Amino acid sequence: MINKLKLLLKKAKSEKKLRYVSCEYVQHGFNVDYEDIKMCCFNCHEGGGRQILIDNYHGEMIDWNKFFKEKRKMRELNKKGIILEKCRGCFFLKEKEWDDEDYINYMVFNHWTQCNCKCRYCFTNEQSDFFNARKNYNMFPVIKKLVDMGKVRGGGEIGFGGGEPALLPEFEPLMNMLMDAGCDNIRVHSSCVKYSPAIERGLREGKVTLVCSVDSGTAEIYEKIKRVNHFDKVWENLSKYAQSQTDDKYKAKTKYIIYPGYNDNKEELDKWFDLTLKSGIKSVVIDIEGGWYENNKYNVPDYIYELLEYAIQKTKDFSMKNVELYDRANHMKLHKEEYIKIRNNE
């Protein structure tokens, strides 16, 4: 009886929630990158983000108990009102009641760079020789250990970036394992050049959100940005994915990254909207090219602001079911008035 009471008290203590400022990734998440494990992949805010959790990482087995011990230290700082330097100014920080348990329900996989596109804006272009020579490492056994420990939960978000995830040898089994473990909110960024049965399953079961950054409404602009000739195949696969959806959440999405000098006009944007609707997809993502925005966010031309507003209005005109502004586009919209004053020296 005494032992049972102790267990109940221990459980009650672990489930106790405190109110403070933190975020899901500080609490229960991580981002597997190509050379380390970071807290997250967000980087537009004051602190710069991407806090390193494990440096120089290349697929080695992780001591998850030690990992959770380090996460607890970060949570304790947040409880005291101390925000990590790299987290300062991040709009994902929020004040709420957080639990104090050790588990993971936010994961981002960015540990490979192989792709079937050659996008002009890809960060690998700056060191193409290095990234082309890189070898993938296998995260399946590492995550399987975490799953076997009972430390993976649903209710958060799993993300695949990369590189092209469908090219990973472990992608299909990893996806299926995560879905079987209860992960019901998995976001996959894919070029959609290669069709994935696991993505199809996830869309059919309502567990996967697919985001395909086509960035164009014509084959000509697609080839200029992507530097491959897969325009028709991508839209064919997107139509197949759209048909796999059986719920009303419309989790297959096309994405348009505004890329000044390439697709920054209403004509191309209109054609992208038309093809999106024709494919049966009713959800979209809007963003702006990261390198350009970082170099020009204090000097964004009016027509770029207008194009973003035009895109937002088009989603309303077409009654899109789910519309997202990604990190940079959201940042540009939120800080428009402030940055225009800086631009105009006001």
What's the pLDDT tens digit per position in 170-189? Answer: 999 999 999 999 999 999 99
CA angle 299, 255, 222 (to 5 degrees): 85
Sheet holding 186-189, edge to edge: 52-54, 37-38, 29-32, 104-109, 152-160, 186-189, 208-213, 252-258, 283-288, 322-325
Give residue 221's pLDDT.
Answer: 98
CA pair distance 31, 43, nearest whole angstrom = 13
How confident is the model over 72-81, as pLDDT tens digits?
999 999 999 9
Distance CA 219, CA 233 (A): 11
Q: What is the DSSP letter of 165?
A: G
Alpha-carbon torsion angle 297, 333, 327, 217, nearest 10: -90
Q: How far apart are CA 85 and CA 45, in angstroms?
A: 11
pLDDT of residue 5: 42
- Residue 241: closest CA among 257, 252, 255: 252
- Predicted pLDDT at 1: 45
Mean pLDDT, the chain, whole residue set = 90
Q: Note the pLDDT tens digit of each residue in 301-344.
A: 999 999 999 999 999 999 988 889 998 999 999 999 999 999 99
pLDDT in the model for residue 9 = 41
User: How far is the C-alpha of 244 from the C-alpha of 236, rounded, in Å?
Assistant: 13
Residues with Cβ < 8 Å from 87, sequence gap 6 or more?
A: 23, 26, 39, 45, 47, 49, 51, 93
User: Based on C-alpha coordinates, what's the Rg of the chain?
Assistant: 21
pLDDT at 136: 82
Euclidean distance between CA atoms 197 and 46, whole angstroms:
40
Which has more confidence, 10 or 137? 137
Query: Is this model's pTM higher than 0.75 or not?
Result: yes
Mean predicted confidence (pLDDT) in 82-92: 87
Residue 111, pLDDT above cutoff 80: yes
Q: Write down the CATH number for the domain with range 18-343.
A: 3.20.20.70
Mean pLDDT (whole number) for 142-162 = 94
Q: How far apart are CA 250 and CA 139, in angstroms?
A: 29
